[in-house]
Amino acid sequence: MKVVQELLGHATIEMAMRYAHLSPDVGRDAVRLLDVHGQNTANGGRPGA
């Protein structure tokens, strides 16, 4: 959860936990967003590069 907090830019773990109870679809979408963010970071911020 700490990693998710940092990746999403939440100042506290409490803020990240506030959203942890949401539906599975929201969690799945968040993971996809983090995956895309990681890919963009790895290729210098160019989507699809």
Domain boundaries defined on the chain: 2-42
21 burial type by CB count under 10 A (0-12 exposed, 13-18 middle, 19+ buried): exposed
What pLDDT does 11 receive? 93
pTM, 2 dp: 0.40
Secondary structure in 3-state letters for the chain: CHHHHHHHCCCCHHHHHHCCCCCHHHHHHHHHHHHHHHHHHHCCCCCCC
What pLDDT does 17 receive? 84
pLDDT, one tens digit per residue, over 14-49 is: 988 887 776 678 778 888 888 887 776 666 655 555
Are residues 42 and 49 in contact, defined by beta-carbon separation less than 8 angstroms? no
What pLDDT does 23 receive? 66
Give the HSE-up count for residue 12: Cα atoms under 13 Å, Cβ half-sphere.
3
